[in-house]
Structure formats: structure tokens, C-alpha cells
Structure 1
Amino acid sequence: MRLALLPFLLAPLIAPLTAQAATTLSVCTEASPEGFDVVQYNSLTTTNASADVLMNRLVDYDAHTRKLVPSLAESWTVRPDGLTYDFKLRSGVKFHTTDYFKPTRELNADDVVFSFQRMLDPANPWHKVAVQGFPHAQSMQLPALIKKIEAPDANTVRFTLDHPDATFLATLSMGFASVYSSEYMAQLMKAGTPEKLNSQPIGTGPFIFKRFQKDAVVRYEANPHYFAGKPGVDALVYAITPDANVRLQRIKQNECQIALSPKPLDVAEASKDPALKVEKTDAFMTAFLAINSQHPPLDKPEVRQAINLAFDKPTYLKAVFEGSAKAANGPFPPNTWGYASELPGYKLDIAKAKDLLAKAGLKDGFSTTVWTRPTGSTLNPNPNLGAQLLQADLAKIGIKAEIKVIEWGELIRRAKAGEHDLLFMGWAGDNGDPDNFLTPQFSCAAVQSGTNFARYCDKELDTLIREGKTTSDQDKRSKIYQKAQALIQQQALWLPLAHPTAATLTRKGVAGYSVSPFGRQDFSKVTVK
């Protein structure tokens, strides 16, 4: 009933915009952001709605050239010992002017220093009021890595590291490393309303925040003073449309000019529509089932291995991804350097799975739960069907799995707290470095921050992850990461599912849009006819 009414409920919000299609870009997205203070969250949905449109980092990662490029920092130098990084800031960068904040100065080094000290220094007053904590900064172990941040002058920021880290520059391109206005944050703290940062954001990005209505719409307007040039549209609208079928209908009717996370069948249908285009690329992503190693009997490797052996992955891929994804054999996508292509993996073997359960003292099986989201995404196009297939496969070896469908924001929050047993999840690497699949997902620090959904902390694996960041030699790092992948597979911390194709639907009149393998969104150069 609710889904049937959805097009009519949202129509008043979208319809007036179609008359301004030449200057307004409407994007159909699949879920509401958790908030707009991006450092407190780790979901791609929140990054897309905050960091990608409202904010900037010191550096960006160009997915096409696979190189780091300047952003707020126009240049940088690294001392030979790999411990000191100096960034020269771009001049003339302006923060957004809104009805709740009027900046009195342009961006300077103090803003960068404050943005990082907030995450790293427990004594910082803003550190204490972050309800969700700082999951990325914590899982990436930045408090232990960054020894000091200082501003030698107004246009220079200096990071001094405790030890060399080959991933440091790439990490600075991630959404959570966005730069905030220290002037605005001081205004909020003085007023006693720091929580407004999460609902009234300020940045330097291509668009300015206007309004958010949960599960309905986010409105932005173009930033006329954007340092990279005013965007090609005057307004941007995120039309939050959880149902992929409704997203397809909306773009067909020109209520949206871009539709994110289409289902594979929708991609096939859109490719036959002369009014639509399909943008596709191999995604730097992995869909997986996280197995909570802290919940007995999932704490036994034999049980986790049995779950992997019981799963009919070819049937799952055909039914859920409809031929649009490659089978995953571990955390790394195949287009990642350091990918371990020789690992054996787990092939369907019911008899062996039953033997492993018997060896674990569970010959009669056990009961558990499977958590999944209610609506589809690039990393899980058909959540209900996928959960049902897993449930049926596990029943064949005596595991009784109850399916729990949980709203996306609530699912993320509770999974980070480690409440789940088996969890359908996905991870998108967003800085081009393979460590982005290891440190946030398998390090001990990431258990504390909540992004390690396997809840696995192991000295040997943690050491490998740490060693992989101590050298910039790619061959050496690859060998270390291959050992880490072998250990992850042997311990069966995940049931790896798929490496999807990232696809986006656009109207034929849309130009300047490129689908990102990382799931990031850049609408700053998009034009609409």
C-alpha cells in the first residue's frame, strides 16, 4: 500500500521542478542520509548527500587517471623520511553563505587544523559532542598515526606523522576528511547548539544546503562562488525514492534526470529507451555476508567455513544480480592491485559443510539470524530474495536462520554496535588503495569503531595490515596483502558475494556526468537540456 502510494506522495515535491529542467537537476536516490556531519558516519548514502556535494578535501582521487589530484590544497610536499607533509592551500576559497551562517573570511589553515583536531583530540570540545563518534578516523587509526597538525602560516598546513604510512595521502581524499568552517563551528558552540552541524551543514563545495525532509527530499542550490567554477545547474534535488521500480518510472517521466542504483533488469529496460542513457563501470566494491565472529557458535572457524560451503553462489548471482556482477572470492575487487587471484575459495559442498558442523559439536545445527535491508542498492539489488536463498541453503545443513529486515539507517547503527549474527553488507573503496578494504573492515581498531562487521580482532592479521602501510613499494605491499587475504579466507570472516557493475540511469539531455567505480557522486559539471 505504501509503495503503491509513493509516486503520488512525492509528486508535489518533484513536479514543480520539471518546469525548470534546464536549470534544476533532480536525482532519484535510494535512501535518506543518516545526517550531514559526514565524519560521524560511514555509509555511502550519507557521503553522497554531504561530502560529495557540500564539501571538499585537501586532495581528490581521480578514478580515471588513478592519481591523487589537488583540491583545497593546490600542491603538497613530503619529506624524505615520509613523516612530514606540507600542504599549500588554494587561495580565494569561500565557505557557503546561508540564512544561518555568514562567513567573515575565506578558508585558511585554521579550518583544516580544526577539522582534524576535532576527530583526533579527545580534549577538543567538538570531539565530545559527536554522538556517533568518528568511525572512519578511528578505524583508519588516525589518532595513532598523526602526531601533530599545525599551521606554519595561513595558507600552509603541516601534518607530522608518528610513522610512515603509504596510505596517508589517499586517506585524505575520503569523504570523512572533508574540511569544515571553524568559524561556523565556533558560532554553533557559542550558541550551545553544536547538534545543528548535523542538520545545517556548511562547506566549500559546489552546492549549498537548503532543506532536508527525511525519506522525501534534499534540496541544494548552486554555489556561485565555487572555486572550480559555478555548477552547470542552478539547483540540485535528491528525490529519495527507495523502490528501484519507482526510480525507473520517475526518470522515464522526467521527474528525475538521474536515477542511482538501478536493478539489473531496469538497466536492460533503460538501454532500450531512446530517452535514456545507461552509464556503467566496473565497481571498486564488494558485496558480502559478514559473519559476526563474536557471537557463538559463529566464533568457531569451522562454523563460518560451513556457511561458506553451504551457499550456492552461482544461483545467488544469477537470481539477485541477474548476470551483472562477478563472483567474489575475498574482500578485494579483481581490479585492485594486490588482488590474490590464486586463492581456492569455497565451492558448494553440503557434505563437507555438515562434517565441519559435526566437528564443531553442532551436528544437529543451530539457530541464528540474517539481517538485510528492505530496499535494493548497487551492492544488493534484491535483498529479500538474497536472504531467502541464504536461508534455504543454510537449512540444508541444519542451520535455522530467521530473516530480519531492518531499515537502512537503523541497520547500520545496530550493525556497528555488533548486534547482528549474519549481515548482508557491502563495501566501496573510495580512495584507490587496497588497504581501504582491510583497515576499515578487518583491523582491531575497526572493531572498536564499528566498521569491522566481522568483529574479528587477530594479532597476525592486524600485523599484516599494519605492515602493508609501512612501505610505498607496491610489490612488497601486494605480497603482504595476499597473505592477509589468505588468512581472511581461511578464517571465513565473510561469505564474499559479488563485485557488481556500477550503473546509473540518465536522461539523454544530461551531459557531464560520469559514474564512479567508488559510488561517489560529482554533479558539479552536469548540465541538463
Structure 2
Amino acid sequence: MPSRNFLFSSLLLAALLAGTAQAASDTLVVCTEASPEGFDIVQYTAATTADASAETVFDRLVSFVPGSTELRPGLAERWDISADGLSYTFHLRQGVKFHHSKAFNPSRNLNADDVLWSFQRQLDPQHPWHQLAGRGFPYAESMGMAALIERIDKLDASTVRFTLKHPEAPFLADLAMGFASIYSAEYAAQLLAQGQPDRLNQQPIGTGPFVFERYSKDAQVRFRANPDYWDGAPKLARLIFAISPDPNVRQQQLKAGDCQVALYPRPTDIPALRGDPELKVLELDSLLVAYVALNTRHPPLDDVRVRQALNLAFDKTVYLRAQFGAGGASPAVAPYPPTLWGHDASLKGWPHDLERARQLLKAAGQQDGFHLSIWTRPGGGPTNPNPGIGAQMLQADLAKIGIQADIRVYEWGELIKRAKHGEHDLVFMGLAGDNGDPDNCLTPNLSCAAAESGENQAGWCDPQFDALITKARQVPEQAQRAELYRQALAIFHKQAPWIPLAHPKQFSALRRDVDGFVLSPLGSNNFSRVELK
């Protein structure tokens, strides 16, 4: 029998969508797991925020071929790279239009001023918009972009040159990530003149395939197609994100036809979904990593022996089976999956060994145990399908070695904000490689710069590890970079700032009439080429 909460959520979502989605064959309704943190994508890192902004409203100079990590031209139709790897010159497309909306009517097309504004805002502390980002610029900060980019020059109205302080092998791929989205400098100037800079985060304007219409908090986000999209107008007239943290609700709404796509179904539900003749299930080995970050700024988690003991205490084999079922994920050892180059096949995961864990706690002077907090979220997503169950399993295993843990549940956006400030002890998290380069799993999540910015939830800063990944970004040869990453991964494994959990497979469930949607290994979802047949 359905729970009262389930019935309420179902009725609420049905009411919101009534008279629109089911009646319109050109409207796609996507049931998704969480609300966007905002729409000013440079301030945020959550995948749901990227789906509702970077993949809909905005574009970048460089983009990915759908369903792959292969780079292709975006707002820049071509680029030149100097022989020393220090200069990148981008030639912008002509005639690219910004969105027209109730909030803004652009007087010109995209030009070099928009590119300069979009990056200098993040990099220059003296820029008038730099201090207006309440959440800062997590990707730019954790990836050390200000220390990398020496200057950005406007060569003419359609040509921009980036000059780097040192070679950076993943730089081009970095520019295809959400934080490199291009904004309208004209819209920003209008908002600043009106004294309404907050509207940049509430009413976004970009060049992307969909135009933002409105957001009903924790309920839905509505977009309409951009008829002037430079890469061809979408075949959909409207796109709606219907928000429900409960995967049961998403699944039932999909079956009822109230949405045509259900993102992030639980792996344990996949067999039943595949058995429904009205549905189809997409599956992909993506660049996802599930982990528990151990806050090394909080004693006794600053002791490597304690962190190793926690890794030994948690029975990850049982956890994977309960969370992902058979074949839904592979066990994680490192911060990125073995499908990426630079992986060290010789690294073995921590075994489940309670006696060895107790010995390490005794050596650290913690044989009498201690208290800590385990943070998680409600609902569930691809890296944490059943958050409550996972937290309880970790809590029970830690109790076996004398560690008493309290479970605290926070809404996704609140959890990210608090974890960035380092309030947690242990927090269940997940990441998706954003550009297909191993560095993207390391620098934004484990570097010293990321610890300072708060995106490194472990707060872990190891000088030797940091030096290795920094050097790996600066050498061009992949074989040399791979060797440096293998050395870095060995340090990560020994120092144990995380409990690596899983590399989940990525799933989406669709109704049979949905065509043109492909899963991305980067964990993002783009609907610009989707149609309903």
C-alpha cells in the first residue's frame, strides 16, 4: 500500500503538470531528483544544477560530442594553440543570439566582451561582479584558474586569446565544463545598473537551446525552446523538470505518463522497469564515483590510522549489494574509475577487517572509541540510491569498533553548503568526471586549493599529492601524466581521506515515445535533441 507521503507527492506533481504535459506532444517532462541550487552555474557544482542551467540555458566555447568525452566546437567555431602550449586563440561564431525574455531584450549578438566578462568575473577580485557571488566560484577556485590564466585579451569583436602562465594539458577540456559557460555582459550591466544583481541567479540569460521561464521552488523548472539556437532549434516546444527526491514517486509518475523521462532510478528497480513494455531503460558505464569524505580537519580524523580504521570497518561488499544490486556498480578503490587512463591496477581496496581496525584505533589512542556525525541526504541519486540505508549500515559497522555515530539528514542544497563550510565529520558524496580527464576527479576534489575553497570535503591537503597532480597537469605526454597519477593514487590510498564506495552505472528510464536522448558519461543530461514520437 502506498505511503501517505507518496500519495501526497504524487498528487502534487500531477496537479502541477495537469493540462500541460499530457496534453502537449511537444512538451517533455523530466522527473528529476533534486532542486537546482540556483541558475548561476559558476557558483555551483551539483549535477541537478548543471542540468537546469549549463545544459539548457548556457553554452561554452568548447563542447562535448553528445554521449562522449570527445571535444567539438561550441561558441568558438575554431581555435589555435601555440607551439609552447601557453596561448589559446578562440574564433567566435557569428550571429549567435542571446535569449529574449521578460527579463531582457538583447541589443546585440554574442561577442568577445561576453567571453571576457564571463571569465574575468571569476578570476579578477577587482571585477565589479566578483564579490557578488554569494557561493564564490567553486570550480574556478578549486582548479586554480586564477593562478593558471595570466590574462585574457580581446583581439577583436570575435576573437579572444587566453594566455597561460604554464602549460595545462586538460585546459581545452576544462573550457567545456559548466563553470566556463558564457554569459551576456549586456544583461549583467543592466542588472547592476538596476541594483538587481541577484536576478542573474534567478532569471538566467544565455545562448543555449532552452529559454528559462520560471522556477517553482522544490516543484518544477520550466523552459521553452530557443527558436534562434545557433545549433538548430530544439524539436520540443517546452521542457519541464519535475522535482521529486523520492525515486518511488519518479518511477510511478513515469509509468502513469506524467513524465516521459525518470532520471536516476534505483539500480535495484531496473529489472522491473525493463519488464514494462511501455518503457525503455538506458544504461552506461559512466565516470561516477560514490564515496564518504572524512573531514581531516576534525580530530581524531586528522590521524591517518583512524581514517584507515574506518575504511577497514565498513563492509563495502554488503553495502554495494544493498545499494546497487547485482551488477549495478563496481567497487571503488581510487577517486576515479579504472576506465580512465592513469588508473593503478595494482591498488587493492581496504578489506573488511574489524580486528585490524581496532588495532589501528588503539595505536592512535582511540581504543575507547569516540563520537562523530554521518551526514547524508533524503531521497536518492545515482551515487547514493538509498541514503538512509547506507548511513545506517555505516553507523552499524562503526559501532562494532566502538565509534558511536549520529546520522544527520539535510536537503541536498543545504548539505552541499554546510559540507563546503566543513561542519560535518563524515559525509556521503559523489562526483562525476566532468571532462574525461583524470585531473578533473582529482584537482577539484582533493587538491589543496579545493580544500581551501571547501569543495574538498575531506579538507585534506597533502603537499606531495598536490605536487604530483600539479605536475601531471603541466606535462603534455599522456604516458608521463599517467605515471604521475599512479604515484598520486598510491598516496591517496595510504592517507585514506575518503572511504571509496562504488563506481555506479548510470541509468535513465524513458517512455517508448522518447527519441534522441543519450546518456553522457559525464553525468549530465541534455535534452536539446530529444523529440516525442
Q: Give the TM-score, by structure 2 length.
A: 0.98
TM-aligned CA deviation for residue 65 of structure 1: 5.3
Query: Which residue is 1:385 aligned to?
Result: 389
Q: Which residue of the other structure, out of 442, 448, 468, is the alignment partner of 1:444? A: 448
Return the letter of the residue paired with 2:405: A
1:212 counterpart SS class? strand
Report whether the alignment pairs 1:175 with 2:191: no
What per-residue deviation string (whole Å, max 9, x for no partner) do you get for residues 312-361 of structure 1?
11100001111210000110111111111111321011110000000000
Contact 1:31 1:215 in 2 (8 A): yes
> Which SS does the other structure have where 2:56 is aligned?
helix
Matched, 1:316 2:319: yes
**Percent identity of equivalent pairs:** 53
Residue 263 (structure 1) aligns with: 266
1:481 is matched with 485
Letter in 2 for 1:156: T
Q: 1:245·1:266 contact (CA, 8 Å) conserved in 2?
A: no
In the alignment, the residues of structure 1 paired with residue 476 and residue 146 of structure 2 have an alpha-carbon distance, to the nearest angstrom, of 21
Q: What corresponds to 2:114 in structure 1?
A: 111
* Corresponding residue number in structure 1 for 2:84: 81
Matches within 5 A, 1:317-466: 317-323=320-326, 324-466=328-470
- Which one of the candidate residues 157, 163, 167 is aligned to 2:166? 163
What is the alpha-carbon distance in structure 1 between the residues aligned to residue 178 and residue 310 of structure 2?
A: 34
Instruction: Report the equivalent of 1:514.
Output: 518
Q: Shift in Å at residue 283 of structure 1?
A: 1.5
Which residue in the other structure is 2:13 paired with?
10
Structure-1 residue corresponding to 2:499? 495
Residues in 1 aligned to 2:390 and 2:315: alpha-carbon distance in whole angstroms: 11
> Which residue is 2:473 aligned to?
469
Cα–Cα, structure 1 residues 345 and 322, in superposed 2: closer, same or farther, change >3 Å?
Answer: same
Measure how far apart 1:150 and its partner are. Answer: 1.1
Q: Per-residue deviation at 1:61?
A: 2.3
Q: Is the 8 A contact 2:69 2:435 kept in 1?
A: no
Q: What's the CA shift for 1:179?
A: 0.1
What's the CA shift for 1:371?
A: 0.3
How far did residue 68 of structure 1 move?
Answer: 1.1
Looking at structure 1, the residues matched to 424 and 216 of structure 2 have their Cα atoms a distance apart, in angstroms, of 29
What's the offset of the Cα at 1:174? 0.5
Match of 1:91 in 2: 94
Three-state SS of the structure 1 residue aligned to 2:241 is strand
Superposition deviation, residue 266 in structure 1: 2.4
Structure 1 unaligned segments of length 5 or more: list them. none
2:217 is aligned to 214
CA shift, 1:100, in A, is: 1.1
Q: Shift of the alpha carbon at 1:220?
A: 0.2
SS at match of 1:267: helix
| CA distance in structure 2 between the partners assigned to 1:311 and 1:289 by the alignment | 11
Match of 2:245 among 242, 246, 265: 242
Cα–Cα, structure 1 residues 436 and 63, in superposed 2: closer, same or farther, change >3 Å?
A: farther
Tell me the equivalent position of 1:139.
142
The match for 1:29 is: 32
- C-alpha deviations, 1:368-427, integer Å up to 9, x for none? 110000110000000000001101111111111111111111000000111110010001
SS at match of 1:469: helix
* Number of aligned residues: 529
| C-alpha contact (below 8 Å) 1:21/1:528 kept by paired residues | no
Give 1:187 deviation, angstroms: 0.2
Aligned-partner residue type, residue 257 of structure 2: N
Kindly indicate whether the alpha-carbon contact (under 8 Å) linking 1:61 and 1:432 is maintained by their aligned counterparts in 2: no
- Alignment match of 2:41 (pick from 33, 38, 43): 38
CA distance in 1, matches of 2:197, 2:117: 15
In 1: Cα distance, 2:269 partner to 2:312 partner: 32
Check conservation: 2:68, 2:520, Cα contact below 8 A.
Answer: no
> Which one-letter code corresponds to 1:210 in the other structure?
E
What residue in structure 2 maps to residue 150 of structure 1? 153
2:130 corresponds to which residue? 127
Is it true that 1:59 corresponds to 2:62 in the alignment? yes
State the alpha-carbon separation in 1 of the partners of residues 268 and 365 from structure 2: 43
State the AA in 2 paired with 1:201.
P
CA drift of 1:458 comes to 1.7
**Runs of 4+ residues deviating >6 angstroms:** none
CA separation of 1:285/1:65 partners in 2, compared to 1, >3 Å: closer, same or farther?
Answer: closer
SS at match of 2:506: strand
